[in-house]
Chain A
Amino acid sequence: MMRTIESIIAIIIMLSAFLIASYLIVLPSPRAVSPLNLRALALTVVKNLDTGGYLSEVTFSNDDSDWNELQTVLSASFPPHIAYNLTVYEITESGAYVPVRTISNAIGNVAFTESVSYMVSSPDVTYKTVAQKISEGGKNLTLYILNCVDANGWWITGYTAQMLAQDVYKLLKPYFETIILVNSTAQLLSLLDGIKLTTSPTESVTDAIIINTFGEVMPIPVEYTQGYSRQGDGYSSSGGYARYCYTLGRKVRQYNWKWISIVGYPFFYVTNTVRFYNVQNGYGIYGIVRVGAAGLNAFLQGLNNENYAYDSTWITKDITADYGIQVQFTPEAYYRTNYYGIYPASEQSASRALPGPGAPNSVTSRYNLAVYAPVFNPVYGYYAAATFKHNSGKGALIAIGLTRTPDIRITALALLIYYKPNIFKETFTAPGKSRLIILQLAALGGV
């Protein structure tokens, strides 16, 4: 009897042990033993989507239909129990990530357990070298090129002003949204009055850049000449048309222009072939009236917003003749020749270099200017090509005081060194050029 009971107890103990053991034998879910590699899955999906550049293209698209299509593709790429959340981030200049767009199939709160990141770069930047348009304060600047048919040039050996204008146009076209040729002194008058020359909405007179392709000669509208309506602003009996140069300086200040003189002594002559039909410059070229060194001084007075006073002091320096040397590129100029692929000779003859800090008759101290973006190393304080910007921030003169024949590439280089428009993004994270895709995944339910 006892044996039976003991046997029964032993059996009960064994059975209980099996029952308890059975309770403990819980195999992990298949998902846990062989979990879905969501991370690898996510990476594989984004890579496959970007084969052929599809994902990169959609990332930079503003078309809703593209994004809708991407959502459809994503949904088809994952098993039904996988929730995804794809977010595209823009990388700002400060390095922050700003979400641009999100597409997801998750409903309600989903705890995404895995995520991958994937970089895309705008095709427009990597292999289509589109130069940045020259701008200031977020506004694309307008370039005016003087191309007046009723004006004659000087010190532009071998060129005509019109052919120079074409050369300039071709060279600088990639860097400007708006380039306008000023085809007559009448158009120049409109410009001086701040009136746009076209109906283009992108044209802006303020902050513009103006290149004078007439060498040492400055076109003058007839209104500013002696005996005409604006004579007071254009002519004085003692100083001749230096007064016009003064007015020009004031205009440059007023409209915050960058005025470019491409060769020689700036504002040495004025020209209007109709008004000055019977005046020649001493070399048989009619339509040109000599102003002399007073022109530049008057211009700078106007730029400095001081009263006009006739001053015929010759202030430029013939570096090559006086010191027996040629001027040489600055390191920045060397860099920019490579950056923009423009290669004028790195050594030039400079016969009309402007005096900067430390030089006699320095224009910087006299007229409150600062030297920016020199193309050539200064020689005893003289700058052969540089931007002289007024300290007020209003107006500048870019003076290329090299010996004729002008090499218009130097002019282009001076402008590009000053504004430094980008052609290539400098870092991967340069704003607007790259985006980051984060794809998050979660496995919902199932075993």
Chain B
Amino acid sequence: MRDTVKGQFSIIAAALLAIILISAVSVTYSIINFSLPKEQINVSSSVYEINNSLKQMLEFAVGYYCSVLQVTGNSSFAQSLSRNYLSSGFEFIANSHPELNPSIRISDMNFSVRWYEASSYSMGYLKASYDLLSLRLSNINYETFCALRVEIVEVRNETATVNVTMDESRPYFGLSAENFLFYYYDNATSSWMKQQASSVRSENNLYILGIPQKVDKKCFLLEVSDPRGIININFYSTRRKPQITYVFDWNATGMQSIYNQLKNDKIVVEVLQNGTLLWLGQKLLDGYPIPQLPIKCLRVSANADPNHLEANQIPFQVEDWASNYKVPLGRSNSETLFSSRNMIVFLVDHNIKNVTIWWDGRDNAQQTPHSTMKNFNDKVERTPNNLAKLVLNNHVMMVNVTYGNGIFYVETSTGRTDFMRINNRYANFYASPSFPIINGTVRDIIQQEAEWAGYDAWGFPNTYAQIVLTFPANATYYTYALRLIFVNASTCPEDRTISELTPIRVSTPWINGIRALTENGTINGIPISVETYSGKCSFYNFSDGKWQHHWSQYNYSNSILAGIIFRELSNLNLYTFDKILGQNTGILNVTFQSKQWILPKAVYTKCGESGSYMAINAIDGSTNTYWQHSYSHTHSIVLDLGETVNISRIRIYQSNPYYWGGTRGIDVYVSDDPNNWGSVVWSGPIYGNGWVSSEQFQARGRYIRLVSKDTSSSQRLYEVQVEEVRTSIEVSPIGLRQVSFRFPLDVTWFGAVVTIQSGTDFIYKNGVGLWVVVEHPPKVEVIA
């Protein structure tokens, strides 16, 4: 029995063991088979794919940002567009992964560039979080960054060695010639052109690029783009700094001793996109072209250490010009990319040794206040005769521009300038002038068009003119550019015959003690001054093949002074008509004490007026209208001449039997104060038919009062004019002989009208300071 039990126990034990063994193996291997890492594989690769997509999208967005910055300098606008672009990309990621059902949120993102330096970069940063709802994952944080950095390490011979890195400064391999574009400036199209590197090879993680032939090896731009679309633009110069320096050598003028004694010889220097420097409009230098930077990035410093330019910044302004720098349009918007429509202007004097144009290449650079400060206090007023007057005030002197009713002239405290007289007919200016820049930083600019209305075969058909005036800050002069546009007249019914052409006439009231001086050649490089004592003195130019009369001026006790200075090279344009005719045609006329009849500008007061016979009729320029006060009493009228003038006579247009003053005559008073007349300056009969003049007298004032000695109510005052005494300088490219031509011609004369206040500038030995600035500009070199 016991044996049987033992045997059954063994069997049962074996069975139990078998069951346990089989169960353990089954469970174990079931777990193995069903717990494979497939789920973990899906999660990690999905996260990896999304992260990769986000990184890719950031790279595209940085490339997009760079491309926007190549059109506009407005980095805020570029950021906004790029953020929208990036956001749309995230939507795309979500939509193209429906199996993951991602939901992406941006925590932070930013794009930034720093270009136009030897070492430049473009970069982007993104911080985002997202959910992968299908995988029940949430708040996955991801932070990434991408960058393209380019450094021009060296330029040697015909090659440039460039270090290109990406992201965390890893060398960027695999770029080819199409990724490297050099810029060169094309003067024919006035624009930057790109040309692929002529060769590319890699060496020690660097790229050795062949520089195309047209590119200036000393100063160039290089654009590097990578396959992600990210762009970099580098500026290389031998000094490896983002700056261009102009060195002014005053010693080279040979006139340093004169320059050193000038007090306020501010001259505006203009820098064009192609690198040309202009001084009073003539070329000083062909420098390096200015990169197409945003205007807001520009800075200008003077007499500065190249490594510490910030401390020596000077005012400058950037201007918009059209039509190859002939038509001023205004100040450039700070977001504009610098182009052939822009110029940089700043002031120099003999104390300036160097000027550096430099820039802050960051996309978020701010415009410097040195380019926006106002150095003028300009305003518009009305004159007594209801003309408009723009008063330009640079805190050293004032320039008044009067316009309206066909009138346009410019005045300073010492002179008046009239423009555009042809065949003894002054132009009309029916359009108001335009003011491209007022309250500027470096200068104000005025533009006006001259027309000759009521044309009736005056002899110069198809002619109109453009006048551009600039008024620099801290200066005692304004410049002029007088451009005559003779349109093709080949089909006109009459010849274009010009017997007299005076684009500018400066006149000053007669002042006792005034002297007129004109340059008449030079001895040992110093001008000879010729003084005009009386009448008109004409200086004939180019008589010996040289332009000799660069300036003419009035001195008054060596302090108050006015004059015209002409630029050397462009004044050769004055010989344009000499070439047409083959003989001398032009003269400079200096008239010492000239007289002309002028109309009073306004009626200040009158004793009365009847019906339509208003007092204004006496100065309306028409002898068909008249003033009448139908009342028997002492008649009087006060006329405003608009400015203080020297007067030598008056004349009245009379008509029998309505003589104003009757047979008894009139009394004439002149004063600057209409409430205080002083003594009679002239008294006497003034009747006859037509124009009748008084006798000569000498008086000076702004207001003239006429009192009739006749109390008749029927007397009529048809017209009154005043004989004004002035001295004048006229530049007349045609004054000697008449010239006839029908072909088109476009010629511009440049110069300046100077007014010197007491104790300031340009005064040195009879004013030759004016001349030295014009004839002996500094020698300028450029360093990049």
Contact = CB atoms under 8 A, between A and B. Distances in A.
Interface of A: 2-3, 5-7, 9-11, 13-14, 16-18, 20-21, 24-28, 32-35, 37, 39-40, 43, 47, 50-54, 56-57, 91, 95, 116-119, 121, 123, 126-129, 149, 152, 157-160, 163-164, 167, 273-274, 277-278, 280, 282-287, 337-341, 343-345, 349, 403-405, 407-409, 423-429, 434, 436
A428 B455 contact: no
A358 to B, nearest CB: 28
B33 to A, nearest CB: 5
A424 B26 contact: no
Contact of A40 (B48, B84, B326): B48
Given A127-B225, A341-B71, A284 B462 contact: yes
18 contacts: A10-B11, A16-B18, A24-B26, A34-B37, A53-B226, A53-B227, A54-B227, A127-B63, A129-B70, A160-B746, A284-B458, A404-B434, A405-B329, A405-B449, A407-B329, A409-B329, A423-B71, A428-B89
A28 B36 contact: yes
Given A424-B67, A424-B68, A39 B7 contact: no
B336 interface: yes
Q: Which of B19, B64, B95, B452 has the most CB of A within 10 A?
A: B64
A287 B488 CA distance: 10
B460 interface: yes
Nearest to A346: B333
Contacts of A21: 21-22, 25
B85 A427 contact: yes
A426 B84 contact: yes
B52 interface: yes
Given A52-B174, A158-B323, A284 B455 contact: yes
A3 B6 contact: yes
A436 B49 CA distance: 14
Interface stretch (B38-46, B539-547, B627-635): B38-46
A21 B452 CA distance: 119
Contacts of A345: 329-330
Given A39-B41, A95-B95, A408-B322, 10 more contacts: A13-B17, A21-B22, A24-B25, A40-B41, A126-B64, A157-B449, A158-B323, A158-B483, A160-B485, A285-B461
B36 A35 contact: yes
A359 B230 CA distance: 51
Contact of B336 (A126, A128, A341, A427): A341
Contact of A285 (B25, B454, B487): B487
B447 to A, nearest CB: 6
A21 B24 CA distance: 9
Nearest to A95: B95
Contacts of B489: 286
A13 B174 contact: no
A52 B483 CA distance: 57
Contacts of B330: 345
B56 interface: yes
A428 B67 contact: no
A284 B49 contact: no
B311 interface: no
Nearest to B294: A341
A343 B73 CA distance: 11
Contact of B461 (A17, A51, A286, A337): A286
A40 to B, nearest CB: 5
A280 B491 CA distance: 12
Contacts of B468: 158
A167 B487 contact: no
Contact of A127 (B8, B66, B462): B66
Contacts of B452: 283-284
Interface residues of B, number: 108
Binding site of A, secondary structure by majority: helix, strand, loop or mixed? mixed
Contact of B29 (A25, A37, A278): A25
Contacts of B17: 13-14, 17
A33 B74 CA distance: 57
A339 B14 CA distance: 89
A158 B436 CA distance: 13
A47 B73 CA distance: 34
A178 to B, nearest CB: 19
A283 B455 contact: yes
Given A119-B92, A429-B92, A343 B332 contact: yes
Contacts of B13: 10
B462 A285 contact: yes
Given A127-B229, A285-B464, A285-B487, A277 B3 contact: no
B463 interface: yes
A229 to B, nearest CB: 21
Nearest to B13: A10
B199 to A, nearest CB: 18
Given A277-B493, A429-B88, A117 B335 contact: no
Contacts of B74: 338
A403 B434 contact: yes
B42 A163 contact: no
B396 to A, nearest CB: 27
Contact of B53 (A10, A119, A337): A119
Contact of B36 (A33, A40, A403): A33
B77 interface: yes
A403 B434 CA distance: 9
Contacts of A35: 36-38, 41
B326 A158 contact: yes
Contacts of B230: 127
Given A40-B45, A160-B485, A428 B322 contact: no
Nearest to B334: A343
Contacts of B60: 119, 121, 126, 428
Contact of B67 (A50, A127, A274): A127
Given A47-B52, A157-B431, A273-B491, A284 B461 contact: yes
B667 interface: no
Contact of A119 (B19, B57, B460): B57
Cβ-closest 9 pairs across A and B = A53-B227, A17-B18, A126-B229, A6-B7, A343-B333, A427-B88, A39-B45, A52-B174, A284-B455
Contacts of A40: 41, 44-45, 48
Contact of B85 (A24, A337, A403, A428): A428
B97 interface: yes
Given A341-B336, A403-B434, A427-B84, A273 B488 contact: yes
B10 A6 contact: yes
A96 to B, nearest CB: 11
Contact of A404 (B6, B18, B449): B449
Given A39-B45, A344-B329, A429-B88, A283 B97 contact: no
Given A37-B45, A157-B431, A405 B32 contact: no
A163 B323 contact: yes
Contacts of A160: 485, 487, 746
Contacts of A273: 488, 491
A158 B449 contact: yes
Nearest to A279: B493
Nearest to B41: A37
B513 to A, nearest CB: 41
B323 A428 contact: no
A119 to B, nearest CB: 6
A35 B735 CA distance: 101
A10 B466 CA distance: 125
A57 B77 CA distance: 29
A9 B11 contact: yes
A429 B173 CA distance: 29
